[in-house]
């Protein structure tokens, strides 16, 4: 505070008090104080006290609460008896501002109505500014700090996320934190986890949690969505472990080239069709290497009469290491055939008077001739009846096998010229069985040969309704009558 002046003082005399101008000039005031002598002395003390103590204190912003008792001490010391000061009014240059009630306890500000209004407006502005500042800090924390922190810890979010989604999932990731980076069990062992084609990420997350591979399915989903991995989860088989964190598992399942891949051999495929599926299978084995390995029979008892592994490349769904080479693949398929060749099946084959190799040849015919699985035992009975009677097999698929070419391994329909194609596989020209299986039959076809239906049928032809079923006949005449008009 600067440029202040003393205006009035409140002088106490006994039980009376009066506000006296600081410059005491009129006689009544002097008399109240105690006469001219005392009044003049009082004024002198007052002015000296103001100039020496109060004004410097006000200008320097120091505490001024002790000014009143000090002034009263001077009055007592200078024999201005019975008089004391209890209040001083001080006025600045701005007439709207007064500092009043300067007491031993301090100064109380008194302001004019205009100044009061200005002060209230200023205070409200200050309050609004403070609230705005706090709100700005909150917005910065939400829209800047949280996404920045999430990006620093987990990487940039998916560009598919909008601003509010980025903030939302950034906050979720920061909330999950330890769940994303801490494995369930650092000593856990790996297990095979399979993601089916078309399976939802919610289903995958639930199964991972149920198997104890992750701690929280919601944390796994939030991480996938934040990173944009929820739309690129790859179907396939993965070796996962509780020793892996959620982040590790999520990243592994984004790999379109997992360590293990699913490889399917369909019933009725010939080896060339298996080879043709390799380029898109994910396996390292090439078609050329596979055909080379498949055309050399392995040393297995049931392949003693075989020159190739055709017929023994067992149809099934396999989960194989990506690095599987052609030779290993062939050995795996043949070994699977051996696992399904039970003692009961071998006994049934022997009861039909067949070797395993002959049974596989007939089963390959049954596989290619059958559309509806329930007809396999009956169709097997037809071929076995012909075999036992010394008839030709007369099966269209044997001709198709003989004349098939790359891209059209099973040509259909067959012409009269095709049926006269000279090949040991053409069972219309040559008696007995084909020299080798024409396809790789399913377990059901093998079981049909080992345990065929008991019939006297020698003929069958497709029904005319397109159902995939067949009409069976014991005589040629019946067979002809079963033809479509």
* 20 beta partners: 9
**Among 458, 454, 450, which Cα is nearest to 474's?**
458
Tell me phi and psi for residue 409, to 5 degrees: -75, -20
> Mean of the pLDDT values across residues 305-334?
94
413 pLDDT tier (thresholds 50, 70, 90) = very high
* CA–CA dist 69, 54 (Å, integer): 12
Has residue 113 got a pLDDT over 50? Answer: no
* CA–CA dist 167, 439 (Å, integer): 59
Tell me phi and psi for residue 328, to 5 degrees: -65, -40
Could you read off the pLDDT of 88-105 as tens digits, one per residue? Answer: 554 444 443 333 344 444
* CA–CA dist 260, 314 (Å, integer): 19
Domain ranges of the chain: 4-111, 165-252, 260-337, 341-485
Could you read off the pLDDT of 149-193 as tens digits, one per residue? Answer: 878 888 888 888 888 888 888 888 888 878 888 899 988 888 888
Q: Which of the residue ranges 16-25, 33-42, 55-64, 67-76 would you say has the lowest mean pLDDT?
A: 55-64
Give residue for tokens 């190799």: 357
* CA–CA dist 132, 126 (Å, integer): 10
482 Cβ neighbours under 8 A, 6+ residues apart: 459, 461, 471, 473
Q: What CATH fold (topology level) applies to the domain 165-252?
A: Dna Ligase; domain 1 (3.30.1490)
As a three-state string, the secondary structure of 371-435 is CCHHHHHHHHHHHHHHHHHCCCCCCHHHHHHHHCECCECCCCCCCHHHHCCCCCCCCCCCCCCCC
* 91 beta partners: 5, 98
* CA–CA dist 206, 218 (Å, integer): 9
Q: Which of the residue ranges 7-11, 449-453, 461-465 would you say has the lowest mean pLDDT?
A: 7-11
> Mean of the pLDDT values across residues 271-276?
96
Has residue 310 got a pLDDT over 50? Answer: yes
The arrangement of strands across the sheet holding 4-13 comes to 16-21, 4-13, 83-92, 97-103, 106-111
In percent, the amount of the chain with pLDDT more than 70 equals 72
293, 310 contact by CB (below 8 A): no
Does residue 407 or residue 485 have the better pLDDT? Answer: 407
Cα–Cα separations (whole angstroms), residue 17 to 14, 24, 42, 206: 8, 15, 15, 88
Does residue 102 or residue 228 have the better pLDDT? Answer: 228
Does residue 41 or residue 211 have the better pLDDT? Answer: 211
* CA–CA dist 476, 484 (Å, integer): 15
Q: Please tell me the predicted confidence (pLDDT) of residue 94.
A: 41
Cα–Cα separations (whole angstroms), residue 113 to 24, 41, 116, 360: 30, 38, 5, 112
130 Cβ neighbours under 8 A, 6+ residues apart: none
Q: Please tell me the predicted confidence (pLDDT) of residue 107.
A: 38
| pTM of the entire predicted model | 0.53
Q: What is the average pLDDT score of the chain?
A: 80
434, 444 contact by CB (below 8 A): no
């Amino acid at each position: 505070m600067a440029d202040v002046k003393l205006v009035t003082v409140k002088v106490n005399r006994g039980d009376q008090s009066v506000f006296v101008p600081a410059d005491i000039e009129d006689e009544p005031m002097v008399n109240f104080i105690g006469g001219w002598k005392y009044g003049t002395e009082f004024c002198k003390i007052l002015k000296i006290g103001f100039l020496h103590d109060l004004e410097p204190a006000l200008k320097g912003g120091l505490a001024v609460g002790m000014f009143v008792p000090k002034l009263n001490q001077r009055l007592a010391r200078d024999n201005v008896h019975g008089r004391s000061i209890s209040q001083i009014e001080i006025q600045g240059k701005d007439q709207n501002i007064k500092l009043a009630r300067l007491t031993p306890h301090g100064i109380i500000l008194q302001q004019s109505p205009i100044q009061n209004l200005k002060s209230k407006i200023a205070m409200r502005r200050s309050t609004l500014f403070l609230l705005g500042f706090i709100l700005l800090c909150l917005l910065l924390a939400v829209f800047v700090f949280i996404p920045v922190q999430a990006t620093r810890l987990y990487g940039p979010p998916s560009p598919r996320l909008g601003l509010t989604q980025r903030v939302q999932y950034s906050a979720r990731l920061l909330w999950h934190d330890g769940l994303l980076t801490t494995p369930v069990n650092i000593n856990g062992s790996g297990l095979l986890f399979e993601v089916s084609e078309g399976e939802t990420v919610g289903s995958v997350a639930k199964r991972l949690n149920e198997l104890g591979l992750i701690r929280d399915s919601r944390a796994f989903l939030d991480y996938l969505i934040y990173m944009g991995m929820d739309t690129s989860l790859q179907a396939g088989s993965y070796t996962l472990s509780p020793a892996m964190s959620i982040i590790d598992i999520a990243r592994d399942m984004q790999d379109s080239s997992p360590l293990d891949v699913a490889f399917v051999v369909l019933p009725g495929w010939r080896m060339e069709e298996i080879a043709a599926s390799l380029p898109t299978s994910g396996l390292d084995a090439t078609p050329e290497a596979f055909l080379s390995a498949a055309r050399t029979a392995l040393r297995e008892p049931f392949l003693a009469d075989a020159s190739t592994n055709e017929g023994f490349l067992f149809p099934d769904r396999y989960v194989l290491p990506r690095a599987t080479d052609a030779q290993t693949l062939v050995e795996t398929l043949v070994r699977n055939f051996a696992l399904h060749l039970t003692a009961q099946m071998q006994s049934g084959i022997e009861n039909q008077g067949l070797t395993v190799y002959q049974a596989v040849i007939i089963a390959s015919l049954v596989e290619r001739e059958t559309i509806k699985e329930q007809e396999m035992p009956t169709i097997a009975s037809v071929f076995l009846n012909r075999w036992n009677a010394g008839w030709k097999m007369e099966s269209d698929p044997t001709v198709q096998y003989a004349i098939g070419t790359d891209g059209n391994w099973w040509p259909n329909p067959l012409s009269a010229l095709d049926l006269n194609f000279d090949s040991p596989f053409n069972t219309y020209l040559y008696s007995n069985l084909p020299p080798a299986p024409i396809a790789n039959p399913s377990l059901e076809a093998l079981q049909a040969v080992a345990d065929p239906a008991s019939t006297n049928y020698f003929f069958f032809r497709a029904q005319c309704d397109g159902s995939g079923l067949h009409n069976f006949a014991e005589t040629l005449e019946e067979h002809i009558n079963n033809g479509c008009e």
